[in-house]
């Protein structure tokens, strides 16, 4: 045969009758492909690294085999969050060490990935949790669904707030993108716990991010099948190396990284401080941007204004003005001796940057953020609440009038205070009980904020910013 094909073989270098052959740290056989056992077992006795370079080296070696590891992003996320100082000091490494040991076990016991057969339909099973979206590609062999490939990724900051059904859609789209060349033109069966995929593909009223998702999914021959739990029978036909989703969820609960961790609100006392802030920037033909911000302090119950001040700002952007509103509110609150507070505002960018949910990349905002962190450190706890601007009309009025006056000022007239009390809707969004005592402070540039003293903790929704005192359950703690 070799002679007919004009192939030249070296007999000393050739082996015949082999059931498997090594190739680029993999073992390939008629059954499928798997990681080379000798290399995989080399990590079995590795101790947890004492420096960040060791962690990076370990993760780098696993990246080559990530297609064999089910839910790799879910497990490895806590290792990617480590810092060199944290590793060297051994501080707060419980979850990281758990993930390290679990990854070592998984790389040693990697499943055999079956050779794909383009004449058979492929099976896709997505799995998502708070911080990652993963998917499994398989095919049915001998009555069982056997693994072909695994893939997944950690969710972006904005995606963390998506519904679990949307996260599963991200997982499916990820698999279709990564393995496009393997599965293009083949029928695909998708087992999902939600009906969103089918709705996205057929809906004529979809909007937002569902529209581009629907366009991408429409290119594929998808048969979406909804499943519930193990009783649906799917677990019974899963082959070796595939874990039922319920068991994956149980494992993930012990490995939640900082990115996917939600802090439950602490118990709130009846005494707290509420601070609202707002900021505005206006355009003028002289290329000058006049700006203002303001703070309002409210006393509860009754929502009586204790203090309201507006501030003129120069050479700032809208987000700068929002930060100034929050900074002035924190300063006014600190002067009152309050240790726990809730800050309410309608600037989603500022609030989420201070909460650490999104990155702050602009140098001017980084300086403002550093100032906020320094002020927050002086409190026992700080909770940030975002509300819609409609609820923050008092702060909006204060900053608008400050800009109109062109100077900083303090509200002294009873008529002005009564007007602020009438137009404010913060209490409608925040107050859950009538037994509340609150004080609010506000400063800002196109957005408003309030602070609460002696009040139960409100919910974290809306477009203003507020501050609470005395054992608040805040998203951020100072």
Q: How far apart are CA 450 and CA 311, in angstroms?
A: 15
- Whether 141 and 206 map to the same domain: the answer is yes
Indicate whether 1 belongs to any domain. no
DSSP 213: H
- Whether 187 and 285 map to the same domain: the answer is no
Range of the domain at 306: 273-465
For residue 51, the model assigns a pLDDT of 92
For residue 152, the model assigns a pLDDT of 94
SS3 letters across 430-453 = HCCCCCCECCCCCCCECCCEEEEE
Backbone dihedral region of 462: left (phi > 0), alpha (psi from -120 to 50 degrees) or beta? left
Q: How far apart are CA 80 and CA 99, in angstroms?
A: 11
Contact in structure between 449 and 345 (CB atoms under 8 Å): yes
- Whether 186 and 42 map to the same domain: the answer is no
List 341's β-bridge partners, or say none.
273, 382
For residues 186-222, one letter each, b for 16 or more C-beta atoms within 10 angstroms of the residue's C-beta and e for the rest, the string is bebbbbbbbebbbebbeeeebeeebeebbeebeebeb
Q: How far apart are CA 469 and CA 438, in angstroms?
A: 9
DSSP 3-state assignment of 134?
Answer: strand
Domain-terminating residue out of 108, 137, 164: 108
- Whether 95 and 136 map to the same domain: the answer is no
Contact in structure between 74 and 255 (CB atoms under 8 Å): yes
Crossing angle between the packed helical segments 164-178 and 210-217, to the nearest 10 degrees: 40
Contact in structure between 373 and 326 (CB atoms under 8 Å): no
**What does each of the 478 residues of the chain score in pLDDT, given as a tens digit?**
667 877 887 888 788 888 888 888 888 998 899 888 777 677 778 899 999 999 998 898 888 888 888 889 989 998 988 988 889 988 889 889 999 999 988 888 888 999 999 999 999 999 998 899 999 999 998 888 899 999 999 999 889 888 888 999 999 999 999 999 999 999 999 998 888 888 888 887 778 888 999 999 999 999 999 886 554 556 656 765 566 666 666 666 666 776 666 544 443 333 344 556 665 554 443 344 678 988 887 776 667 787 888 999 888 888 988 999 899 888 888 887 777 777 888 888 999 899 888 888 888 888 899 999 999 888 888 888 888 888 888 888 888 888 888 899 898 888 888 888 888 887 777 665 433 333 334 443 334 444 443 333 333 333 333 333 333 333 333 3
- Whether 233 and 321 map to the same domain: the answer is no
Indicate whether 7 belongs to any domain. no
Closest CA to 74 of 260, 239, 264: 260
For residue 470, the model assigns a pLDDT of 32
Side-chain half-sphere of 406: how many Cα atoms within 13 Å? Answer: 0
Q: Cα 190 from chain centroid?
A: 25
Domain-terminating residue out of 54, 81, 108: 108
Q: How far apart are CA 275 and CA 326, in angstroms?
A: 8
Token representation of residue 351: 């609030």
- Whether 133 and 209 map to the same domain: the answer is yes
For residues 454-478, one letter each, b for 16 or more C-beta atoms within 10 angstroms of the residue's C-beta and e for the rest, the string is bbbbbebebbbbbbbbbbbbbbbbb
Closest CA to 189 of 214, 221, 164, 218: 221
Q: Cα 476 from chain centroid?
A: 15
Q: How far apart are CA 132 and CA 115, in angstroms?
A: 27
- Whether 282 and 230 map to the same domain: the answer is no
- Whether 280 and 377 map to the same domain: the answer is yes
Contact in structure between 50 and 43 (CB atoms under 8 Å): no
- Whether 386 and 439 map to the same domain: the answer is yes
Please state the pTM of the whole predicted model: 0.54
- Compute φ and ψ for 152, nearest 5 degrees: 165, 175
Q: Cα angle at 358 between 354 and 362, to 5 degrees?
A: 80
Domain-terminating residue out of 79, 108, 137: 108
Closest CA to 450 of 460, 459, 442, 462: 442
Distance between first and last Cα of the chain: 76
For residue 260, the model assigns a pLDDT of 60
- Whether 415 and 301 map to the same domain: the answer is yes
DSSP 19: S
Q: How far apart are CA 160 and CA 176, in angstroms?
A: 21
Indicate whether 477 belongs to any domain. no
Q: How far apart are CA 110 and CA 119, in angstroms?
A: 26
Indicate whether 476 belongs to any domain. no
Q: What is the C-alpha radius of gyration for the chain, rounded to an integer number of angstroms?
A: 29
Question: Structurally, how many domains does the chain consist of?
Answer: 3
Indicate whether 163 belongs to any domain. yes
Indicate whether 267 belongs to any domain. no
Contact in structure between 87 and 93 (CB atoms under 8 Å): yes
* Alpha helices (runs of H) in 219-361, residue ranges in sequence order: 245-253, 318-335, 348-355
Q: How far apart are CA 390 and CA 445, in angstroms?
A: 16
Residue 140 belongs to a domain with what CATH number? 3.10.20.370
Closest CA to 392 of 329, 446, 439: 446
DSSP 3-state assignment of 106?
Answer: helix
């Amino acid at each position: 045969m070799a002679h007919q094909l004009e192939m030249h073989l070296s007999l000393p270098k050739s082996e015949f009758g082999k059931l498997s052959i090594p190739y680029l740290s993999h073992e390939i056989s008629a059954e499928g492909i798997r990681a080379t056992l000798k290399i995989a077992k080399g990590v079995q006795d590795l101790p947890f690294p004492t420096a960040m370079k060791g962690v990076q080296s370990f993760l780098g070696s696993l990246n080559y085999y990530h297609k064999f590891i089910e839910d790799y992003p879910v497990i490895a996320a806590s290792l990617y969050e480590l810092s060199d100082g944290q590793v060297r000091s051994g501080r707060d490494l419980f979850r990281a060490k758990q993930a390290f040991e679990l990854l070592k076990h998984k790389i040693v016991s990697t499943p055999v990935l079956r050779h794909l057969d383009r004449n058979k339909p492929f099976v896709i099973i997505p799995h998502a949790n708070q911080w990652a979206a993963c998917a499994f590609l398989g095919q049915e062999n001998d009555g069982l669904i056997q693994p072909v490939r695994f893939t997944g990724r950690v969710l972006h900051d904005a995606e963390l707030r998506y519904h679990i059904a949307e996260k599963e859609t991200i997982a499916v789209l990820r698999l279709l993108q990564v393995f496009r060349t393997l599965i293009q033109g083949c029928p695909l069966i998708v087992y999902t716990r939600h009906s969103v995929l089918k709705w996205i593909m057929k809906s004529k009223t979809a909007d937002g991010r569902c529209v581009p998702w629907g366009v991408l999914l429409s290119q594929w021959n998808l048969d979406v099948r909804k499943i519930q739990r193990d009783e649906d029978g799917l677990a019974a036909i899963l082959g070796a190396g595939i874990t039922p989703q319920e068991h994956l969820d149980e494992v993930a609960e012990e490995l939640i990284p900082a990115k996917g961790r939600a802090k439950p609100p602490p118990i709130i006392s009846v005494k707290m401080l509420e601070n609202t802030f707002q900021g505005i920037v206006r355009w003028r033909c002289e290329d000058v941007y006049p700006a203002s911000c303001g703070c309002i302090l409210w006393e509860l119950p009754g929502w009586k204004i204790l203090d309201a001040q507006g501030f003129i700002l120069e050479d700032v952007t809208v987000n700068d003005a929002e930060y100034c509103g929050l900074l002035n509110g924190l300063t006014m609150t600190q002067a009152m001796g309050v240790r726990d507070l809730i800050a309410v505002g309608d600037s989603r960018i500022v609030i989420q940057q201070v909460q650490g949910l999104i990155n702050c990349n602009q140098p001017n905002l980084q300086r403002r953020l550093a100032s906020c962190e320094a002020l927050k450190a002086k409190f026992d706890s700080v909770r940030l609440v975002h509300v819609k601007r409609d609820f923050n009309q008092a702060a909006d009025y204060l900053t608008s009038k400050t800009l109109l006056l062109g100077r900083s000022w303090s509200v002294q007239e009873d008529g002005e205070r009564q007007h602020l009390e009438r137009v404010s809707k913060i209490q409608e969004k925040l107050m859950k009980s009538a037994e509340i005592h609150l004080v609010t402070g506000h400063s800002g540039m196109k957005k408003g904020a309030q602070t609460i003293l002696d009040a139960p903790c409100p919910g974290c929704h809306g477009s203003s910013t507020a501050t609470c005192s005395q054992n608040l359950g805040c998203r951020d703690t100072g």
